[in-house]
Structure 1
């Protein structure tokens, strides 16, 4: 019993050093979020959220490297939003969304590996693509959606520069990743996302992008055991997050209340992301569900059910691929 208590207490106690970057990331969403509320458009906060995620990159980097990594991460996120907005505007079939996500994740995996971005992998960009592609066309012009995301990403980069630790750049450059490992890693994304997306479409489950995102998330870990562990954490954290989301969505509060909750939830998401993946997802899941419901209102029970099913499909695909294609252990970057 004491061991369980110790583990829970450890999971729920992030280092004090994590509070500052979490506050910075949350501020990067709060400013455009308040502006959208003042403009009477809380439904558009989904575009600002993906821009604010830019602030998660380069958490421990010095100023020059953080600027580079956040700029690169921001471009990936804005590109994901742009492609998603175009797919929504053209009313593409779910199968086309899956194909676009597979292509984006495969290329994104190669790019993020060579850039040595942290957080690793193309997860956030792929998630942005899929989530934005499901927003009903006509809610906002694609150019406006891209502008909101890009402006928020720019704010996140500026805040990152202002808050960057002072210090000299490392004298040695990070080693270039092995080409075979990079291609094998990209193939994991391609196979897992194809399987998860196809299963979601075949079963008629709405928002197949959640299955795609659930498959992409665990694959960023450095080795097979880490991918399996992260998959389990994703499943557990998402299920816990569904409970939080139910508490917030079932009473059907106003759009303004939901938007404020989205802004508040980003702080604990970033606070726990590096400390404990499952706990972070317990906050990230309701954040994403709330902003999705704002952009595309639907029955809370349907939303909760689809999210749970999609996550199981995606995590199962990721774990299967991790077992089938273990590869060599990748060096931490």
Structure 2
């Protein structure tokens, strides 16, 4: 299948995985809870062009990271954890998530989405729903994403040999490189979050996310390129966010915009990361504002500065903690 068709089909699958729970939340008149459905739907981002059996394997493994990050974030939110506690929790999760992502050979690479879910949800304190309801929405959305990925795959039969081969490949992956990369995540996430805290940026999760996504690339050159794309795409997306929030639309309208933005985000994710982020950033900012309103100026300022801090720290750590073959 041509690449452009694969990208469109994949983006459509991910979009449907959010449209269905999104409509349910709008019908329930709970747009503030959309953030939990969004993170659950991210399970559909894994296994872009894989066969039915292997896609289900990798999406299940990706869902494990997402649900773990969401559960940790919900616990931190309910405990009103301090920013430094969030940084510590994100660091521990990023290390474990990095090892699991490398072991599972997940694509997209790394523990970014799970770590991001932890940090973003940890800052949500005002939703009127129980912890089990919030996590249940995330889990239900993830399960729906797995179901959509399974029924829409090209292969019509279950191939146990492909699954066995994928698991066998995971078991023989090189361990030293994985531990080195996990150490890289530990240093970068802890440093980025700590710098954001010292600078009083207000939301340490943006710096944590900037560092984590920068390290997702395969080598130091790719990490530098990913960091540059992160900054450019984030700034463009923040401009879009400001334009969307200026008219003062009601929460239901903003929720519809969030749902619409996931398709172009995933469509461009493998084509141009900066362009994808110009859609991803307003999607994330709007769903965060729905869950925990803080005002346009504070939100945009903290996101821009936090992203720059995270990217700079991620690039610096990548340069200092080099791969053994570099």
TM-score range (shorter-chain normalised) is: over 0.9
Question: Structure 1 residue 273 and structure 2 residue 269: aligned?
Answer: yes
Are the equivalent residues in 2 in contact too, given 1:67–1:157 (CA < 8 A)? yes
Are the equivalent residues in 1 in contact too, given 2:73–2:117 (CA < 8 A)? yes
With normalisation by structure 2, the TM-score equals 0.94
Q: CA RMSD in A?
A: 1.5
Structure 2 SS opposite 1:120: coil
Corresponding position of 2:51: 62
Corresponding position of 2:201: 205
Post-superposition Cα deviations, 1:55-86, rounded to whole Å, max 9, x if no partner, equal: 00011110111111111111211111111001
Question: Structure 1 residue 321 and structure 2 residue 317: aligned?
Answer: yes
Q: What is the number of residues matched between the two proteins?
A: 317
| Unpaired segments ≥5 residues, structure 1 | 1-13
User: Where do 1:24-63 residues align within 5 Å?
Assistant: 24-63=13-52
Measured in 2, the distance between the counterparts of 1:319 and 1:113 equals: 20
1:309 alignment partner, one of 290, 305, 310: 305
Deviation at 1:251, TM superposition (A): 1.9
Question: Structure 1 residue 224 and structure 2 residue 220: aligned?
Answer: yes
Corresponding position of 1:22: 11
With normalisation by structure 1, the TM-score equals 0.92
Post-superposition Cα deviations, 1:129-180, rounded to whole Å, max 9, x if no partner, equal: 0011000155321110000000000000000001112176659553632211
User: Where do 1:1-333 residues align within 5 Å?
Assistant: 15-136=4-125, 139-166=128-155, 170=162, 173=166, 174=169, 176-328=172-324
Post-superposition Cα deviations, 1:62-115, rounded to whole Å, max 9, x if no partner, equal: 011111111111121111111100111011111000000000000100011000
Structure 1 SS opposite 2:128: coil
Are the equivalent residues in 1 in contact too, given 2:87–2:193 (CA < 8 A)? yes
Are the equivalent residues in 2 in contact too, given 1:112–1:121 (CA < 8 A)? yes
Structure 2 SS opposite 1:220: coil
Deviation at 1:322, TM superposition (A): 1.1
Measured in 2, the distance between the counterparts of 1:325 and 1:15 equals: 36
Deviation at 1:328, TM superposition (A): 4.1
Structure 1 SS opposite 2:29: coil
Structure 1 SS opposite 2:271: coil
Measured in 1, the distance between the counterparts of 2:12 and 2:240 equals: 21
Structure 2 SS opposite 1:274: coil
Are the equivalent residues in 2 in contact too, given 1:223–1:328 (CA < 8 A)? no
